[in-house]
Structure 1
C-alpha cells in the first residue's frame, strides 16, 4: 500500500469511527476533491466551510433576540446539517483562519456545537490545511484546536497520480464503525500502556509549530484508542501478516480479513498523539501476546502473562468482554480470573475488581472466589 493510499483509507476509517481528522498537504494536491468524493461514496451531504472567509460568529453564533432572551443563531450550513441528521462538515484551509476564528471552532470540533445548535452525532468532521508557510496569510494551528484533531500527512506520489489520471482516482471502501466492545477493549489496552509509561499521558509541546500538530493528552489518547478499535474491524489487510488468533494479532498486526492495514493504524495513532508516543504504543501493542478473554473465562488453567503491563491489559480486556456480554455467567467467571491475578499482583486485580463490581448484571450471584479476594476488595473500597 502506498503512503497516499494509507492516508486515504485512514480518512475513511476515521470518518466511520467519528474521529475528527485534518489533512496536511501542499495546495492543489486533491485534498478537497478526495473528501468530497468520500462524502458522495458514503451518501453523506457535505458542507464545505472555508476558514479564510469566515468570522468567529460563523461558529459561535450570531446573537439575536428571541422570546425575550438572547439566541446565538447558527449559520445556514449548520442548520442544513442538523436538518439532514447526518453529514460531513469539511473545514477547509484551517491555517488561513486567524486565531479568533480558530478559537470559535473549538466547540464545533469537540462538542459539535454551533451557536445554540448542537449538530447530530452522525455529523463527521474532516479538516484540511496547508502548512502555514504555504498558505495565504498563514497562521499556525492553535494547540487547543490541534489537540482535537488527528493529523494526517497528505502526500502526492507520481504513480498514484498517473494511475488516477488513467483509470480514475480510487475512493476507499466504507469502513464499519467500531462497536462498544471493541472500543472498551482498545481503551483498556491503551490504559495498560499508559500505566507503564505515565510520562506520556500529557506532553504539551514547547513551540508553536509542534503544538499545531498531534501531541499526547488524555483527549488525544482517547482518540488513539478509538482508532485502535476502528482498525480492529476495519478494511481487510493487504499484507501477508498472519493472524495467530490472539488479542495482540487482532489489535496490532495487519491481519487478513479482520484488521486494517498496519500502515493505516500507524497513520491514525501517530496523527493523534504524535510520532514519539505513537511509535511507542504501536511497538508495545505489537509485542503483546495475550490470551483471548473467552479462553480465560472458560479455562481456569489457561496461562496468564507474568509482566505487570500485560496483566493490566489482559484484565482490562476480560472486564470489557464481560461488561459487553452482560450475562451473569460471564460476570461470575471473571472473578476467578481476577482471583488468579490477585495472588501475584493484588494492585492489578484491585482495579479490575472495582470495574466488575460496578458492572454486576441483574441476577448474578456472588461467587465463592470473592471470599479470597476480601483484602483486595477492601483496598478497592468495595468492602468495609
Structure 2
C-alpha cells in the first residue's frame, strides 16, 4: 500500500520508526577533556555546574553521562519551581502542637531515595530567582529536601547559561556558586560532527589505582596545605563584582573540594589539562593557576642534593621548571655561601647550559657571580658561561634601543 494511502495512525508509526533510527547512536572511547573532568568530579561526589551558551550540548552531555554510567536521570528545571519545592511542603498532622509540621518532599526526591542511586540534573539554574537559589543551598550541600536525605548513590549536576544568554537570567548567589565545581562547557567541532554522524564520545568513570590511594591523599594534602601556607590571603577571597561572585572563588569549602579533586586526579592518573579545568573551576582562574604552578614545583629536586652531586644532577626538561631549579640553587648558595658550594653551583649552571636553552642560566649566573668573595678563585667553568651572559646582555641592550627608537618615532 502506498504511504499516502495509509491511515493517519499508521503514518505516525512510520514517522516514529524514522525518529527511532535518528536517535539510534553509539559511543566510542575518545579523549575528551571536558567529559573526563565531569566524570572525575561526579566520581568524587562533588556538585558540578556546567556553564555554557544555549544549545552547546550541556543537556545532551548529561543524558549521555547518565546512560553511560547506568544511572537513572532525574531532571528538575529549577526556574519553574517554588522555593517550597526544594525545602519541602508543610503537611499539617493530627496535632501540630505535639507533632510539629513535617516538610513533605516532592515526588522526584522520593523516587531518588527509593532507587538509592541516580543523577539529579538541575537545569536552567541561572534563570532561578534568588529565593529558589536560597532554597537550593541545603539540597546542594547537605543533600536534604524536606525530611528526606538523598542517598550517597545520588550525584548532583547542574547547568546554567551566561546571564546575558539566559531568559530573565540571574547571577548565582555567592553561597550557591561556592558549592559547585564550575566547568566551562564548549563545543568541539570534531566531536559534534562525529556525534551528528551517529557516534559520540563515551563517558566512563575514572579507573582509580587502589595502590595509589594513600599516596594520592598525601600528595593532595601537601599540595593544598603547602600552597595556602605560602599564600594565606587566598584561603578566603570573595570577589568584588557580582558576576565573579557567581563563579568559582576561593574559600575553605572550595579548597576542600580542590583537595578532593587533586586526590582523585592523582589516583586516576588524569592529565594536566583535566586537573586544570577542575582546579580553576573550583577556586577560580588566578588561585587555580597559582596552585597548578606550585604542584609543578613540588616534585623539583632539592637544591642541596644537586649541590652535593652536580655531575649527576637530573635537571627538568621544561624551561620554567629548570629556571626555578637554578634559581633555587643560587638561593641556597646565598643562604650558606661557601667556596665548595659556589663552585658546585657553577658546575650546575654549566651543565644546564650544555643540556638546555643557554639563556636560562643568564640570571642565575649573574646573581651567582655577585656572591663571589675576594679569596675565591674564579672557576674555569665561568669562562664557558661568559659568552652566554654577554650575548644575552647585548641582546637586551639591542632590544632596549629598538624600543626607545620606536617610541621616539611616534
TM-score interval (norm. to shorter) = 0.5 to 0.7
Residue 69 of structure 1: how far off its partner (Å): 2.0
Structure 1 residue 41 corresponds to structure 2 residue 68: yes
Distance 1:184 1:107, change over 3 A: farther
Is the Cα–Cα contact under 8 Å of residues 17 and 178 in structure 1 kept in the other structure? no
Corresponding residue for 1:376?
none
Is the Cα–Cα contact under 8 Å of residues 150 and 268 in structure 1 kept in the other structure? yes
Structure 1 residue 218 corresponds to structure 2 residue 249: no
3-state SS of 2:103 partner: strand
Q: Mapping of 1:150-299 within 5 angstroms?
A: 150-176=181-207, 181=214, 182-183=216-217, 185-234=219-268, 259-289=269-299
Corresponding residue for 1:140?
171
Q: Once the two structures are superposed, what CA deviation does each residue of 1:237-269 show, in whole Å capped at 9, x if it has no partner?
A: xxxxxxxxxxxxxxxxxxxxxx11111100000
Is the Cα–Cα contact under 8 Å of residues 224 and 273 in structure 1 kept in the other structure? yes
3-state SS of 2:64 partner: helix
Distance, in Å, in 1 between the alignment partners of 2:93 and 2:54 is 42
Residue 187 of structure 1: how far off its partner (Å): 2.5
Corresponding residue for 1:101?
132
Structure 1 residue 149 corresponds to structure 2 residue 180: yes
Is the Cα–Cα contact under 8 Å of residues 120 and 157 in structure 2 kept in the other structure? yes
Distance, in Å, in 1 between the alignment partners of 2:299 and 2:219 is 15
Of 39, 50, 61, 2:88 maps to: 61
Gaps of 5+ in 2: 1-30, 302-324, 329-410
Distance, in Å, in 2 between the alignment partners of 1:271 and 1:5 is 17
Q: Once the two structures are superposed, what CA deviation does each residue of 1:1-28 show, in whole Å capped at 9, x if it has no partner?
A: xxx9211111011111101110001111
Q: Once the two structures are superposed, what CA deviation does each residue of 1:146-198 show, in whole Å capped at 9, x if it has no partner?
A: 00001111001322211222241112222246876334541332112111111
Structure 1 residue 74 corresponds to structure 2 residue 102: no
Corresponding residue for 1:18?
45
3-state SS of 1:160 partner: helix
Corresponding residue for 2:11?
none
Distance, in Å, in 2 between the alignment partners of 1:88 and 1:142 is 23
Residue 37 of structure 1: how far off its partner (Å): 1.1
Whose Rg is larger? 2
3-state SS of 1:47 partner: strand
RMSD: 2.0
Q: Once the two structures are superposed, what CA deviation does each residue of 1:75-132 show, in whole Å capped at 9, x if it has no partner?
A: 1111111111111111100011000000000011111011111111221110000001
Is the Cα–Cα contact under 8 Å of residues 187 and 222 in structure 1 kept in the other structure? no
Distance 1:200 1:114, change over 3 A: same
TM-score, length of structure 2 as denominator length: 0.62
Distance 1:266 1:209, change over 3 A: same
- Structure holding more helix per residue: 2
Which stretch of the first structure deviates more once superposed, 109-118 or 266-275? 109-118
Is the Cα–Cα contact under 8 Å of residues 223 and 298 in structure 2 kept in the other structure? no
Residue 139 of structure 1: how far off its partner (Å): 0.6
Gaps of 5+ in 1: 235-258, 292-304, 308-384
Distance, in Å, in 2 between the alignment partners of 1:212 and 1:120 is 28
Which stretch of the first structure deviates more once superposed, 113-122 or 158-167? 158-167
Is the Cα–Cα contact under 8 Å of residues 178 and 230 in structure 1 kept in the other structure? no
